[in-house]
Amino acid sequence: MSTKPVRLEWNQSDGAGSGGVKPVLQIKDLHVSYYTDAGRAKALDGVSLDLFPGEKLGLVGESGAGKSTMALAMMRMIKPPGRIEGGQVIVDGVDLVGLSNEDMLKARLSRIAYIPQGAMNSLNPVLRIGAQMMDAIKAHGGKDKAAMKKRCIAALEAVDLRASVFENYAHELSGGMKQRVCIAIGVLLEPKVIVADEPTSALDVVTQRQVIDTIDRVCEQLGAAVILIGHDMGLMAQFVDKVAVFYAGRLAELTGVYQMFTDAKHPYAHALIDSLPNLENKGHFSGIPGVAPALLRLPSGCAFHPRCSQAMEICRTTRPKAQTLGNHIVECHLYSEPTESR
């Protein structure tokens, strides 16, 4: 498990928290809602976080917490009835939310790449893998066919696939190989940030580990920062540097992976870690009482309060503000002080 120093946010005035290194990704107060017949679901409700070059962030939380919405919002791929209602997604100094559609198309793959949930089913069944890869480069202005092919083969080899896969159709490949192709397409234009949404969920345990190792290696070679979305905290623990725990469209806690596993502050994050089997509890693990709230009927105040064993009166009425607590950013009244909020 990574114990490397955690960088949570960039203090522009002194650079102290980050050693002066600027974040490659800054998400600032991001809001996304889906407007359904039943009402407005705030799938992301004011999420902020920074990611530094080469860092690996794990994004966890129950189903419906807003993890995929976060990935799609970063890519500007939220479709109606959803829309981004506020905030910024700054990659390498450029706010993607403010880009024209045309500029955003260029930014995809070259600044930020996305490996979607169920990515391997996103490959076109009637086009050879090579043609799909070449199309991705062409969309970014590639013209020299030989150079483009060379680049595609290099990307395939970087993810441990044979060059011959260039000529294959998706149905000729195993699940793990298809997932590797999706990773190869993701790194084709050397993006600064790669967002992988549950890249291993449909794979067997051995292949999962291999695919994660591959993402790790190619991102390290590129110096790209990675956001890995997933439910498997065990796998996550071996891969990421820091972890963001989402609850009902909000960031409950963000801290280093080691700190999260040994000293989680937010009661929900704590419960999530406690719910994992480990050597001490010998597989007898406690669940989290209650169920994740429906976004259309979100509890008032802290959305976790009906399930929280430490809930106080204020938790029922007032949403806690995010605050920095040493190496943790945490949204919980237990730690509330009348200090600066984000």
Q: Which of 174, 310, 339, 341 binds ligand SF4 (CB under 6 A)?
A: 310
Tokens of 342: 């984000």
* Greatest alpha-carbon span in the chain: 67
Q: Does 69 bind ligand ATP (CB under 6 A)?
A: yes
Q: Which of 6, 46, 49, 68 binds ligand ATP (CB under 6 A)?
A: 68
Residues 121-160 that bind Mg ion (CB under 5 A): none
Q: Which of 6, 25, 51, 65 binds ligand ATP (CB under 6 A)?
A: 65
Task: Tell the burial category of 69 from Cβ atoms under 10 Å away from its Cβ (0-12, 13-18, 19+).
Answer: buried
CA pseudo-torsion sign 97, 20, 261, 299? negative
Q: Which of 13, 63, 100, 101 binds ligand ATP (CB under 6 A)?
A: 63
For residue 196, what are the β-bridge partners? 115, 228
Q: Which of 269, 304, 324, 329 binds ligand SF4 (CB under 6 A)?
A: 304
Tokens of 50: 């920074």
Contact pattern from residue 253 through residue 292 relative to ligand SF4, giving x for each residue in contact according to CB under 6 A and a dash for the rest: -------------xxx------------------------
Cα distance between residue 341 and residue 40, in whole Å: 26
Please choose, from the candidates 74, 160, 158, 55, the residue with its C-alpha nearest in 3D space to the C-alpha of residue 113. 74
Radius of gyration in angstroms for the set of CA atoms belonging to the chain, rounded to a whole number: 20
Q: Is 146 helix (H, G, I), strand (E, B) or coil?
A: helix
Among 161-169, 226-234, 280-288, 311-319, the segment contacting ligand SF4 (CB under 6 A):
311-319
Among 93-101, 205-213, 290-298, 306-314, the segment contacting ligand SF4 (CB under 6 A):
306-314
For residue 304, the partner it binds in ligand ATP, Mg ion, ligand SF4, none, with Cβ less than 5 to 8 A by kind, is ligand SF4
Contact pattern from residue 132 through residue 171 relative to ligand ATP, giving x for each residue in contact according to CB under 6 A and a dash for the rest: ----------------------------------------
Q: Does 200 bind Mg ion (CB under 5 A)?
A: no
Q: In sequence order, what are the residues at sequence separation of 6 or more whose Cβ sits closer than 8 angstroms to the Cβ of residue 209? A: 235
> In terms of DSSP bridges, do strands 250-256 and 328-331 run parallel, antiparallel, or are they unpaired?
antiparallel
If binding means CB under 6 A, how many residues of this protein chain bind ligand SF4?
15
> In terms of DSSP bridges, do strands 112-115 and 193-197 run parallel, antiparallel, or are they unpaired?
parallel
Q: How far is the CB of 333 from ligand SF4 (least distance, A)?
A: 4
Q: Which of 33, 68, 200, 214 binds Mg ion (CB under 5 A)?
A: 68
Among 1-9, 24-32, 197-205, 301-309, the segment contacting ligand SF4 (CB under 6 A):
301-309
Q: Which three-class secondary structure string do you get for 139-192? A: CCCCCCHHHHHHHHHHHHHHCCCCHHHHHCCHHHCCHHHHHHHHHHHHHCCCCC
Cα distance between residue 152 and residue 30, in whole Å: 34
Count how many residues are written for the chain: 342
| Residue placing its CB nearer to ligand SF4 in the complex, 114 or 304 | 304
Q: Does 327 bind Mg ion (CB under 5 A)?
A: no
If binding means CB under 6 A, how many residues of this protein chain bind ligand ATP?
16
Cα distance between residue 47 and residue 29, in whole Å: 5
| Residue placing its CB nearer to ligand ATP in the complex, 6 or 41 | 41
Contact pattern from residue 269 through residue 308 relative to ligand ATP, giving x for each residue in contact according to CB under 6 A and a dash for the rest: --------------------------x-------------
Q: How far is the CB of 42 from ligand ATP (least distance, A)?
A: 9
In the sheet with 225-229, reading across from the earlier edge strand, the strands are: 112-115, 193-197, 225-229, 56-60, 242-247, 250-256, 328-331, 322-325
Residues of this chain that bind Mg ion (CB under 5 A):
67-68
Residues that bind ligand SF4 (CB under 6 A): 266-268, 302, 304-305, 308, 310-312, 315, 320, 332-334
